[in-house]
Amino acid sequence: MGNLVSIVTVVYNNASTIRDAIESVLSQNYPNIQYIVIDGGSTDGTLDILHSYKDRIDILISEKDRGIYSAMNKGLARCEGEWTAMLNSDDVYADERVISEVNAYFDKTGADAVYGDLEYVAADNLNKIVRTWRSGNYDREKFKFGWMPPHPSFYLRTKFYKRFGKFNEEMKISADYELMLRMLFKHKLTAVWLPRVLIKMRVGGISNGNLKRRLLANREDKEAWRINHITPFFFTLYLKPLRKIGQFFSFL
């Protein structure tokens, strides 16, 4: 059957899209998946949808939490797979072959992490591409030039969450960036790029919203380097948002 793979979805009051996320997981042609859903105590009908899939979700927890990264950590604590994927409740896999191809890449390369590309799509049309995030080959030093892999398309061997820690719950927006910086740059884990779109992500994520959120993300990005005792270049954090400009043209 191949490696056991853990997939974690966290959700709170997202009845409009959670069914798409669940169906995306259940449609995967990979046979050995542990699916974990962490709900923050939804009141909008999300729970009714989740309960309709209770026989196909391995672990379903619904209770108050301290935010998205708290919920993610709650899911990670229950992961038993060789490697773990996080699928947001707004997102879907690009097709039914994603998990099987990522698993094959882990086996082929022996890498600690695998990442791929991501398409931002319209909130009301998963087939309408707004921009494309093409990740490129891995080079640890690229972090100093504002690079990062797209977290929704980032997959890590589960043992490293246990060894080096989960998400930093003090952060509101950039805990995914801090985690990847910690794993790949500080601890020098190996990573490989699978050059194809793995995730379709609806526009409007928490770190891509208004100016206030962008400024908070920038402050948290700076904090991510500080708490890991790493010194970036003076221009590193300016380049990070500028890198997104090219995403609007990569699919033309």
SS3 state of residue 221: helix
pLDDT at 207 over 50: no
pLDDT at 97: 98
Range of the domain at 54: 5-248
pLDDT tens-digit series, residues 156-167? 999 999 999 999
Distance CA 170, CA 140 (A): 25
pLDDT at 139: 97
- Of 54, 2, 9, 74, the C-alpha closest to 33 is 2
When pLDDT is cut at 50, 70 and 90, the band that residue 245 belongs to is low
pLDDT at 148 over 60: yes
pLDDT tens digit sequence for 81-116: 999 999 999 999 999 999 999 999 999 999 999 999
Q: What is the pLDDT of residue 210?
A: 61
Q: What is the pTM of this model?
A: 0.92
Side-chain-side CA neighbours of 164 within 13 Å: the count stands at 19
- Asked if 214 and 240 count as a contact pair (C-beta separation under 8 A), the reply is no
Q: Cα(140)–Cα(187) distance, rounded to whole angstroms?
A: 11
CATH of the domain at 241: 3.90.550.10
| Number of compact structural domains in the chain | 1
Which tokens belong to 56?
A: 């196909």
